[in-house]
Amino acid sequence: MRSPGRSSPRFRLVCSALILLMAVPALYVLTSARPAPPATAPTAPNTTTLIAVPRDNQDHLYVLDGHGGVHPVGASPQLPTTVSWPNKDVAYSLALFPDGTGGYVLDAWGGIHPVGAAPAIASNAGLTEFGIAREIVMAPWSSSLEPAGYLLDGHGVIHPFGGAPPVKGYSSWPGSDLARGLVLTSNSTPATVMGYTLDSYGGIHPAASIRSAAHLPSPGWRSGRVRTWPTPS
């Protein structure tokens, strides 16, 4: 009988089993050492900023001096003027059309003088007191083809000119120089004109051609030449 040797089937089976047992731990180590797949970055939220479109006045800002000079600010184009008063402080107010192509300068006598593309026009205010004119405003629908606006005098009376309809229902102070400013709301139309006048005490008074504008409280200032500010639409 032949003794078992290295070439016997049993010996080969035992060797194969030993090799398999040794290979399993090595295979586990290699598998564990494999780099993990990169983590998926979280999707960033959409943070796109919406840029608001500028409303207006970006390219038609001007300063009026007392001699009638109209000075552009920033990128505003030069507007030719038709009158000036050297060495006299009689230019009181400047108003432009909504498109900024022209407008009018108000003088101390209540006269209005064209600027830029504005045509010559009479104020028809009939003011007889020097220095009683206060402010001029253009209507939101006005243009060089159809000029329309209002003139405020110191007594609070609002005088229409051009194609502007009369305004009623406003406060006035006959014989007293109390009115200081006038603004119209941007949604005013020829059928419905609404706005506010400002007095020297800081009082704000509604004015309307058809329906009443809301009354705003006075801040209670005692006196002074207070200027107007834009009225929210």
Q: What is the pLDDT of residues 124-135, one digit of tens each?
A: 788 888 899 999
Instruction: Average the pLDDT over 104-117 and give the result.
Output: 94
Across-strand partners of 150? 137, 160
DSSP for 67-89 reads: TS-EEEETTPPP--BS---TT--
pTM for this entry: 0.66
Give the residue, 22 or 29, on which the prediction is more confident.
Answer: 22
Give the best-scoring range by mean pLDDT among 2-6, 56-60, 147-151, 226-230.
147-151
* Residues 207 and 184 sit within 8 Å (Cβ to Cβ): no
Give tens-digit pLDDT for 145-170: 999 999 999 999 999 999 999 988 88
The pLDDT mean for the chain works out to 77
Two tokens, residue 183:
């603004």
Strand, helix or coil for residue 61:
strand
Proportion of the chain above pLDDT 70, given as a percent:
64
Of 226 and 127, which is predicted with more confidence? 127
Q: What is the mean pLDDT of residues 163-179?
A: 90
pLDDT(218) > 60: no
Contact between 209 and 192 under an 8 Å Cβ cutoff? The reply is: yes
Give mean pLDDT, residues 196-216.
Answer: 74
Rounded CA separation 158/206 (Å): 12
Residue 96, phi then psi, degrees to nearest 5: -120, 155
Question: Which contiguous run of DSSP H or E holds residue 162?
Answer: strand 158-162
